Chain A
Amino acid sequence: MVEKWNITVKFYRQKQGEKPHDQEIKMDVNPDENVIDLVERAWALHDRTLVFAHACHHSTCGACGMRVNEREKLACITPVRSVVANGGTLKVAPLRNFPVISDLVVDMGELYRRMDLVGHQPVDSDREEAIQPEFRPAGPAEPNEDFMRLSDCIECGLCMSACPVFSSTPDYLGPAVLAGAHQAGLEKNPLLFKLIDSATGVWRCHSAFECTAVCPSNVDPGWRIMELRRKVIGDRVKTLFNPRKPAEVGK
């Protein structure tokens, strides 16, 4: 028997050129369904004017990032039960720090531009061994296996919305982008080294680790930013004792 709850869903609504307002819809929900299911149902059955973004419904595309009860969530993998109780109110709003296009949809063009800028690879060789230890074969792996894997970062923008620094400093590259630079590899690209070793790069981060807390996809941007700092410091110490020409910085 499927459990049935009744909750109030409070939607952030905004059309272009108009002021935002909240809209409340009372909905019967299954506590085990995900937030995207009730958002889609609200559009399909209650109010056809609701605008929201979504595509894959299983956390591989990153399209349905939103703020659920003031917290950044990927709506397709957020069970209703985890964010509200029976009879309670669930608030859904667009991500912060990006321009709102309408209702729950924001313009993430800037994030995509910056991910290209740092050369983040959407498909990469499986360097970090996606298969978790409990499922990994015992003994040596099959030789000559070079698996490719879609990158962990799904560019959902949750970390950029949750970052307390990005909200006050739009020039700050931001956690997703710095994590993208870390994945791309500084070693290959001296210009990238310069880009992140700056006041809008790794040194702007305040180590709040909100990015890591909200990341739905194992990227851990906070850790990656700290790793980038270590690399930068390491490089500075090295060049202190072994000065190089500027063109070689980062090699």
Chain B
Amino acid sequence: MTKPHAIIIGAGFTGVATAHDLAMRGFDVTVVERGPIANGTSGRTHGLLHSGGRYAVKDQESAIECIDENLILRKIVPSVIEPNGGLFVALSESDLDYAEEFIAGCEACHIPIEQLTPQRALKLEPNLNPKLLVAFTIPDGTFDPLRLAMSFAATAKKNGANFHLYHEVKSLLMDGKATVTGARLLDRTSNKEIDLHGDIVINATGAWAGEITAMAGADVPIKPTPGIMVAFERRTAQRAINRLCAPADGDIVLPQRRMMVVGTTSFAADNLDYIPIVEDQIKLMVERAADLLPGLRSVKLRGIYMASRPLIGGGTGRSIARTFKCFDHKETHNLDGFVTITGGKATTLRAMAEKTADTVCAKLGINAACQTKETPLISYRQFYSLN
């Protein structure tokens, strides 16, 4: 029997992780991507390996996904992670009011935390705001976004997956009106078109998912929600520093190489391909970062960028759950051969891939178990050095 052929659209986090999962389950995998690896939302993430603490009060499903996946990623891809932990820090009375819910939420989601006195917290992170009232340790980390994606892609490639970078999907190939059978691609490096046929087409384009489903006359309830991130050119902490409060603008500032990165905001966008930077948001981010680490007020900015989260619809902005969803379009639009995976967060990329691969296997009647929880990934560099 020949292997089933899966075409994955998008080489962001979900695309590369799904390629890895399906390649391990014995699929022929082809990933098509209009740019390089992780050029959209994935590359432009904050870089926070979430412990789940940020969601432990209002969105416990996401919080549990985060802590579970955090522990798995530390094991399977340590070469792209700064595993230095994090702190939640209270600066005001209202932050203190949040502490009780936070402790209960973390306990409910099995996120290990430890309460610190201000003196102890300042001993661990001397550049914290000295007026802090209380702090909690939490198992956050920092990851390198591009290299995280490349590690999955490299491992998928080693297991036989093909990657067509700089190939843009121009249309979906249909058998009549009821089945998606492949995609027509434009090779942007040569301006030549090619047709690719597969047994299943997986739309892993995140915030852009609606643009691909529209090609088949379908839609998905995705609400692209951009936010700003600002990088400072000095590192003033070793751990991710979170404000102890409900999710808010600029509530996380974290170290990465010799920088600190603060984010983010939450608003609506028209054109996802180019999101202009809003000056007022830069000032807000600097203020919020300096609330937690006052030294940053005098540090030069190094990079400013926007990323568009793919939030699953219903509600607005911060109230939307951060979990993910795999849509089988046979169920949503009576359209066969076509699934969409979207929503979620960088930290949950592996779980998103597992869910997608489960859906695909069930659709095609294939009995193959997920192996990605236990499989260490190979060096991200091999994405380019493997032939």
How many residues of A are in contact with the other chain, CB < 8 A? 62
User: A145 vs B43: C-alpha distance in the bound complex, in angstroms?
Assistant: 30
Is the Cβ of A57 less than 8 Å from the Cβ of B80? no
- Interface contacts beyond A34-B304, A113-B381, A142-B123: sample of 6 additional A-B pairs, CB < 8 Å, sorted by A: A33-B277, A59-B259, A60-B47, A142-B124, A150-B256, A154-B257
CA distance A151 to B142 in the complex (A): 13
Instruction: Chain B residues near A107: list those with CB within 8 A.
Output: 384
Which residues of the other chain, A, contact B256 by a CB distance below 8 angstroms?
60, 150
| A55 with B36, Cβ < 8 A, contacts A49-B191, A135-B295, A142-B124 known | yes
Interface size on B, residues (CB 8 A): 61
- Report the minimum CB–CB distance from A104 to chain B (whole Å): 11
Chain A residues with Cβ below 8 Å from B82 are 123, 147-150
Q: With a CB–CB cut-off of 8 A, which chain A residues contact B35?
A: 51-54
B381 touches A116 (CB 8 A): yes
A55-B39, A130-B258, A132-B234 as given contacts; A122 in contact with B147, CB under 8 Å = yes
Within B244-292, the residues touching A (CB, 8 Å) are 255-259, 261, 271, 273-274, 277, 279
B259/A60 in contact, CB under 8 A: yes
* Nearest 8 CB-CB pairings of A with B: A58-B303, A55-B43, A57-B305, A137-B126, A44-B274, A102-B189, A61-B146, A58-B231
A112-139 CB contacts (< 8 Å) to partner B: 112-113, 115-116, 121-123, 126, 130-132, 134-138
Interface of A is mostly: loop
| Complex Cα gap A40–B274 (Å) | 7
Choose from B79, B188, B190 the contact partner of A123 (Cβ within 8 Å).
B79
Render A33-70 as a binary contact track against B, CB cut-off 8 A, 1 for contact: 11001001101110001011111111111110000000
Known: A57-B303, A58-B302, A60-B256. A37 touches B84 (CB 8 A): no
Contact check, B238 vs A131: say whether CB atoms are below 8 A apart.
yes
- Given A33-B277, A132-B235, A76-B305 contact (CB < 8 Å): yes
Residue of B nearest to A52 (CB): B35
What separation, in Å, do the CA atoms of A13 and B302 have in the docked complex? 28
Residue interface bits A1-36, CB-to-B below 8 A is 1, else 0: 010000000000001110000000000000001100
Q: Which residues of B line the A interface, CB within 8 A?
A: 35-39, 42-44, 47, 78-84, 123-124, 126-127, 142, 144-147, 149, 166, 188-191, 229, 231, 234-238, 255-259, 261, 271, 273-274, 277, 279, 295, 302-305, 379-385
Spell out A's residues near B (CB within 8 Å): 2, 15-17, 33-34, 37, 40-41, 43-45, 49, 51-63, 76-77, 101-102, 105, 107-109, 112-113, 115-116, 121-123, 126, 130-132, 134-138, 142, 145, 147-152, 154-155, 217-218
A45-B274, A135-B127 known; A51+B189 contact, CB < 8 A: yes
Could you tell me if A218 and B302 are in contact, using CB atoms closer than 8 angstroms? no
B37 x A55 contact (CB < 8 A): yes
The answer to whether B303 and A34 touch across the interface, beta carbons within 8 angstroms, is yes
Q: Which residue of B lies closest to A135 (CB)?
A: B236
Whether the Cβ atoms of B189 and A16 lie closer than 8 Å is yes
Complex Cα distance, B124 from A15, in Å, reads 53
